[in-house]
Amino acid sequence: MRFFSTTAFSFFIIANPMLGHTKTIPTTQNDFEQNAIIIKGSKKHIAEVLLEKGLAYKLETIDSEDDIYLVRYQGKINPNTLSKDLSTDQRFEFVEPNFRVHKEGTPKDPLLSFQWALKNQGQDSPHGLPGIKGADINAKELWKIEDGNPEEVIVAVLDTGIDYEHPDLKSMMWTNKAELSGKEKGTKLEDDDGNGWPDDVYGWNFISDTRTKPYGSKIKQLGHPDPMDDHSHGTHCAGIIAAKSNNIGSSGIAQNVKLMALKFLDSSGRGHIDDAARGVLYAIKNKASVISMSFGSTSFSKTMFYELKKAEKAGLLLVAAAGNSSGNNDEKPHYPSNYEIDSLVSVAATDNRDRLALFSNYGRKTVHIGAPGVDIMSTINEDGDITTEPYHAYSGTSMAAPLVAGAAAVLLGHQSAVYKGKPLEVKKALMASVDKTEEMMAKVTSGGRLDIGKLLDYKNLILTSDKANKDAKYQIVEEQFELKSYTYPNWYPVKLVDHVWTVSRQNAHEIRVFFEEFKIDYLFDLFALYNKHYLHLSTYVKPFAVQEWSPWVKGDTLKIRFANATVQIIKKELKEFANADEARAAGGTQCKRLTGSNRVKCYVMKKYDPTPNHESGGFSISKLQYKQLKPIKVEESK
């Protein structure tokens, strides 16, 4: 979704019968740091322009490879005003204020319960909310295989830091061994491994001392090599991802993870975009596979977008909390979760009854998946809270996002040959394997809540028998079976489609098909399954899937209906009318009277003829399975 400061000549594409619209999100005075802007451009041009304006300034590097700098200047000029002024200079790719961001999720009660998000047996949450058995991420399927030998995966936690001395996190920390060895030899302030950050053993603190002097001797960096958490938010997120399963405290979802601590939020949970962008660059340079981001802002930052796109190109999966304002992100965006980046997964929060959390943001277009985020037990700083034990229950989409980041890391560790360096495929697997609920189908793109059991089974990793095949009387028969919709694989159909395909096998007890791929406009197309009596069984509400089995359909027949929607363009145009009454009758708005005349000019909405929906792609099926009675063995009597 793109937002513009003006809408004088705007147009939008919609699908009948709904009408789309855009909104401009204003920047308030308190959204950014005073006397600071970010510029993408050469140092020479920055110096020339600021000298012309008579501004004394100091440069701080964000990304030296791509010439992105934080400019601190003296004077009373508003950063937003200065940014808009300098944005007209074609020598700069972008100029913007240094936006503020804040953590998502607020600590609430002391730890009262165990981790229902991993295994929900119907127990109460720490706040006393009665749970529903099975409203969890199905971690029992993970535990079946966790004794294997998965590949280590680095997950960068971009947050308030991590308590790397915590008993449940100490052995799970990413460690820069060259720098650790250098410390032991006494080479303090030196960049022993040559990565550009001296003494960075567990990550980097991008805010400590950045306003005084850089750290290091020969190689200098803004910030400090100690990313110790002084808040507990980052430590809590880290524990959700990878707290050690060691029979003490809590247990994280991923035991194959190494946690990289990237501190850019301060002790109050606040930070700035320049520091966040430096953290993303660090994760790229130091080979992280996943970045977990539990913070947010309503301000679109070109700097952060640029660095996250860079991370996508480097093969990183980006996981972001959707926000905690109970809002619709389709209408009022929240960043970084709303950045239009293919490898970014936006995460809503659910409770222990599989409902969308009351505080959670949502959006069928912009929020991709739900995950538990209410009263989640995890690690905190040993001296960073009112409790005597270093564990606590927090709530927020901040807690939901690390669960998804950890699940992705498990998938990457167990199937690195399939998914390593392919964040979009990981995202597809996460979305295609959710446990769907009626409420979430209306709230998020995938239509459901994270299910790590189904995720790992997505590529047949867990070799367990099919639940529907437990009856020993039946056997599964698999056949190659090719079927394509009229439009597949052409994503730009030239005609409307509304068709039903029938798949049947004589004497089958149940039947299902294997989708090689489907792509639909999930908000407007109809893609549904029926039985032979046209009883509706399932409707798909996600935009795409790759290599996915349909649900089992009882009986010998499965019917598939695909219908694409009509698209209509409505354009805002300027038109002249004889008088104001005529303009009002035509629905004119923003009218202006012509000088010396009764004639007026107004904007009107012009509807164009409907056309096929270019987002509709259809489907392709490659095989089917059906269940039939096993042959009865007859033994000859001797």
Angle between helices 423-432 and 397-414 (to 10 degrees): 110
- What span, in angstroms and rounded, lies between the C-alpha atoms of 65 and 468? 55
In degrees, to the nearest 5, what angle opens at C-alpha 574 toward C-alphas 570 and 577?
120
Instruction: Please name the amino acid found at residue 60.
Output: E
Q: Distance of alpha carbon 546 from its chain centroid, rounded?
A: 19
Burial class for 572, CB neighbours closer than 10 Å (0-12, 13-18, 19+): middle
Query: Would you call 191 a catalytic residue per the annotation?
Result: no
Three-state DSSP class for 518?
A: strand
Q: Any bridge partners for residue 544, and if so which?
A: 519
Catalytic member of 136, 159, 199, 375: 159
Catalytic member of 250, 395, 398, 446: 398
- What span, in angstroms and rounded, lies between the C-alpha atoms of 573 and 551? 48
- The total of other beta-carbon atoms located within 10 Å of residue 583's CB is 22
Three-state DSSP class for 588?
A: coil
Nearest to 397 by CA among 293, 539, 494, 544: 293
Query: Would you call 10 a catalytic residue per the annotation?
Result: no
| Strand (E) or helix (H) holding 234 | helix 233-242
CA distances from 207 to 165, 212, 215 (A): 20, 10, 11
Query: Would you call 233 a catalytic residue per the annotation?
Result: yes
- Say which residue the tokens 């009660």 belong to: 109
- What span, in angstroms and rounded, lies between the C-alpha atoms of 46 and 92? 8
- What span, in angstroms and rounded, lies between the C-alpha atoms of 305 and 310? 9
- 190: its two tokens: 């030196």
- 385: its two tokens: 């809270």
Three-state DSSP class for 305?
A: helix
- What span, in angstroms and rounded, lies between the C-alpha atoms of 403 and 254? 9
- Catalogue the E-assigned strands of 423-523: 435-436, 448-449, 474-484, 498-504, 510-519
- What span, in angstroms and rounded, lies between the C-alpha atoms of 174 and 258? 5
| DSSP, residue by residue, 607-618 | EPPPEE-TT--E
Nearest to 159 by CA among 111, 223, 205: 205
- What span, in angstroms and rounded, lies between the C-alpha atoms of 465 and 535? 27
Contact 243, 172 (CB under 8 A): yes
- 297: its two tokens: 């802002």
Three-state DSSP class for 469?
A: helix
Q: Any bridge partners for residue 510, and if so which?
A: 554, 627
Instruction: Please name the amino acid found at residue 561.
Output: R
- What span, in angstroms and rounded, lies between the C-alpha atoms of 244 and 252? 6
Catalytic member of 166, 224, 231, 233: 233
Contacts of 514 (CB under 8 A, 6+ apart): 547, 548, 549, 550, 621, 622, 623, 624, 625
- The total of other beta-carbon atoms located within 10 Å of residue 501's CB is 15
- Enumerate the active-site residues: 159, 233, 398
